[in-house]
Structure 1
Amino acid sequence: MSRLYGERIVLREYQDADLEYMKTWVNDPNITANLSDNFLYPHSSYATESFFKTMVEGTSANKSFVIGDAASLQYIGQIDLYKIDWKNRFASLAIVVGRKECLGKGYGSEAIRLLQKFAFEELNLNRLELEVYEFNQAAHKCYLKCGFQEEGRYRKKIYKNGTYWDSLVMSILKNEYEK
């Protein structure tokens, strides 16, 4: 895959230097608190290295990018298209800004917009979808800003810190992106 350039970021391939950043955030509760239950338990270095190896070798079915700084290419986070359905032309989106000092600075929304352009204009997908936990208000706001619409919710699907929470289903269609 070629690199995708934005104003402040580039969506690029995985590089050896990214592994140390990944090892840091996968066990940081400040980063993983809003992510899936894949991050419920600590990740060993071996598990992170194994995942990293599949990304570097390109053996994953996902279309995955590192979110890097446009000038230095330094790791900021990761963004993926997964569960790609080529027949029906849709995919799920996942994103993580893995460096605390980069949170809340608009890198996520810029990465999502670049990935939308790639998904709709290059891959000719018709729909991108995602799930976001209702307590993750920053992500919800970001997705709305990027044109996603809430289309439903899984009621009380997530148990976190003694409370059951809804998981919101959001999507954007190609024609909505084009407006």
Structure 2
Amino acid sequence: MNSAQRNTKPVRFLEGERLYLRPFGPEDTAGYYEKLFHPEIRRLTGTRQAFTIDGVRRYIEDKSGSPDTMLLLIALSDDDQIIGDIALQDIDYVNRNANMRIAIGSDEHLGMGYGPDAMRLLLEYAYGNLNLHRIELQVFDFNQRAIKAYEKVGFKREGVQRDALYYEHRYYDSIIMSMLEDEYRAKYHQG
């Protein structure tokens, strides 16, 4: 890597006050791979699979090039530190809906409002630029912090998939939440 490449600031695709969302670059693969083995992230997402670095690289390349997925990193505005990732996936342009997921990758950044901030940035883009109508997500019932954050952003509980996850000798429910474009506009674009 030459000095010009080292001094290049990351692209800021969607920018807020405290953080921004940006596409993955080849330099992000190793860090993303490591976070996939963080015990708390694995528990909160119900992840059981072991990954390889090559598999993660292919996943990032496939998702980054797919028209039905937006896979982005969450970075702090002041120092460009990566704190998580967020995705809009299974984008259906005919029915105007998609699924959203988010993961904040370190304990030190949890509970600071970064997740809701990142979600609002992506929701603004999804409703304002992609012309989506409905965005849904799923969260396991034991993840009360995430449920509160999603409700704060404006997601509403829609249903429950009972005993949807078996993890560490127990079954857990999966809560389906969604937000419609008019609900988003009423909350964030009043007046």
Q: Number of aligned pairs?
A: 176
Deviation at 1:59, TM superposition (A): 4.1
Question: Higher mean Cα deviation, 141-150 or 75-84?
Answer: 75-84
Determine the C-alpha separation between the residues in 2 that align with 1:176 and 1:60.
25
Question: TM-score normalized by structure 1?
Answer: 0.90
| Corresponding residue to 1:5 among 15, 19, 34 | 15
CA contact (8 A) 1:21 1:99 kept: no
Question: TM-score normalized by structure 2?
Answer: 0.85
| 1:34 corresponding residue in structure 2 | 44
Structure 1 gaps, min length 5: none
Structure 1 outlier segments of 4+, above 4 Å? none
CA contact (8 A) 2:68 2:92 kept: no
> Could you say what secondary structure the match of 2:79 adopts?
coil
| 1:45 corresponding residue in structure 2 | 53
C-alpha distance 18-74 of structure 1, shift in aligned 2 (>3 A): farther
Determine the C-alpha separation between the residues in 2 that align with 1:29 and 1:64.
22
CA contact (8 A) 2:165 2:173 kept: yes
| 2:136 corresponding residue in structure 1 | 129
The CA deviation string for residues 154-175 of structure 1, in whole angstroms up to 9 with x for no partner, is 1111112222111101000111
Determine the C-alpha separation between the residues in 1 that align with 2:29 and 2:110.
19
CA contact (8 A) 1:21 1:98 kept: no
Q: How many percent of aligned residue pairs carry the same amino acid?
A: 35
> Could you say what secondary structure the match of 1:27 adopts?
coil
Cα-Cα RMSD: 1.8
Letter of the structure 1 residue corresponding to residue 144 of structure 2? Q
Determine the C-alpha separation between the residues in 1 that align with 2:148 and 2:111.
11
| 2:68 corresponding residue in structure 1 | 61
